[in-house]
Structure 1
Amino acid sequence: MNSRNWVRMFLVTLLLGAVATLLTSFFVKTNSYMTFLQPFDLIELLGIIVYFTSFGLVFSLISQMGFFAYLTVNQFGLGIFRGFWTSIQVVLIVFTLFDLVYFRYLGNNDEGLLVYIVVAIFILCYGWLISWIKAKETNQKAFIPALFFMIVVTSVEWVPGLRTNGGDYAWLMIVPLLVCNTYQLLILHRITNKVNA
């Protein structure tokens, strides 16, 4: 990958993170916007838009750090564990999905267990779909690493959002993380011109 492609991927990912967070904030933080619409206050409205856009930029940077960490860990895993690396990734995927349900429920049982199950199933289904697309566009060996990235790495990146009180910031964070991670995963083989990326 040359520097021009890397800079373009970096900037597009930043933009996607900012836009995804801003759009999510319209649904998750509706009350924040309504406060400044009645009566209308343009300066305050622009301030809150800048506020959520800045969050999106931060979430995008977290996503990009996670992506490059994943690329490094994947290469180490392939070198150290060789044929067992795929099995290790599957075990980590299962553990992460279990963690998204059980340990979150233990830490915050104000919400029902069903909410955590639905979130884990959604992340699994979304990750499965993106991994299937990645494998279809490259090769079948890319499926498990892509699923590992979409589930395990995204969940690790999501930890700051999960530790907040209330679900608003958790939702504000997971949407841009999924958008940015999807973009990075599906663009990598296109900009490196490799079908085994």
Structure 2
Amino acid sequence: MKSRDLVRFFFSVLGIGAITTSIVGFAVEWGRYKELFLSFEVLEILSVLIWFIGVGMIFSVIAQMGFVIFLTIHRFALEIFRSHSLWNSIQLFLILFVTFDLVYLRFLFFETEDGSLIPYLWFPLFILVVGVVVAFLKQKQSSKKTFISALFLMVVYTIMEWFPALRVNEEDWLYFMLFPLLSCNAFQLLMLPRFQSHV
């Protein structure tokens, strides 16, 4: 990839993070910001929007760092294991392990006595569904061999990147960070070949 295309790719992902975070931010905090829109407080709305854009760009940078690490580890793993099927088996195990941990550890640390496990299933299931859809699109775009690796990025790396919000465990922040990370990771995975085509 030429440096010009790399810069375009970087700023495109920044834009995805900024736009997604702004939309999700206003949606999640609508009760808080509704009065600003009803009273048409333009300066206040712009200041909040600028803050959302800044935070969204930070989220996108986190996603891009994760993507670079993913590509590096994926290349090294293929060299070490010399077998796509073995590396896919390891990735599949890690997907299941991390998804289980997301349910169990959140329940263990944040649930009160006699609480239900069911509310803790929503986020892992949602991430899995989005991951499967994106991995399927990636498979159609390239080959069947990419499905597990794409799912690995969308599930395992998204959850790792999401860790700051998981520690805080505030529902608004969980949504606020998750959707931009998923959007940025999906964009990077699906759109990278289009930027590479300019080489």
Q: Tell whether the structures are fold-level matches, with TM greater than 0.5.
A: yes
Work out the CA distance in 1 between the residues paired with 2:140 and 2:165: 32
Q: What is aligned with 1:87?
A: 89
Work out the CA distance in 2 between the residues paired with 1:184 and 1:107: 33
Q: What is aligned with 1:189?
A: 193
Shift of 1:115: 2.2
Please give the residue correspondences for 1:15-30 in structure 2 after superposition, counting only pairs within 5 Å. Answer: 15-30=15-30
Work out the CA distance in 1 between the residues paired with 2:107 and 2:56: 27
Q: What is aligned with 2:154?
A: 150
DSSP 3-state at the match of 1:140: coil
Out of 93, 103, 111, the position equivalent to 1:101 is 103
Work out the CA distance in 1 between the residues paired with 2:88 and 2:95: 11
Alignment pair present for 1:2 and 2:5: no
1:33-72, Cα deviation, whole Å (9 max, x unpaired):
1353465533222211111111101001101111001001
Q: Once structures 1 and 2 are overlaid, which stretch shifts more, 181-190 or 37-46? A: 37-46
Asked if the contact 1:138/1:189 (under 8 Å) is kept, the reply is no
Q: What is aligned with 2:75?
A: 75
TM-score scaled by length of structure 2:
0.91
Work out the CA distance in 1 between the residues paired with 2:133 and 2:39: 44
Whichever residue aligns with residue 136 of structure 2, its letter is: W
Work out the CA distance in 1 between the residues paired with 2:27 and 2:136: 29
DSSP 3-state at the match of 2:82: helix
Whichever residue aligns with residue 63 of structure 1, its letter is: A
Q: What is aligned with 2:168?
A: 164
1:103-149, Cα deviation, whole Å (9 max, x unpaired):
11111115742222121111111101110110111011011110100
1:59-102, Cα deviation, whole Å (9 max, x unpaired):
01101111001001111111122322111101100011101111
Residue segments in structure 1 that go unaligned for 5+ positions in a row:
none
Number of equivalent positions: 193
Work out the CA distance in 2 between the residues paired with 1:48 and 1:55: 11
Whichever residue aligns with residue 94 of structure 1, its letter is: L
Q: Which has the higher contact order (CA 8 A, sep 6+)?
A: 2
Residue segments in structure 2 that go unaligned for 5+ positions in a row:
none
Work out the CA distance in 1 between the residues paired with 2:13 and 2:116: 34
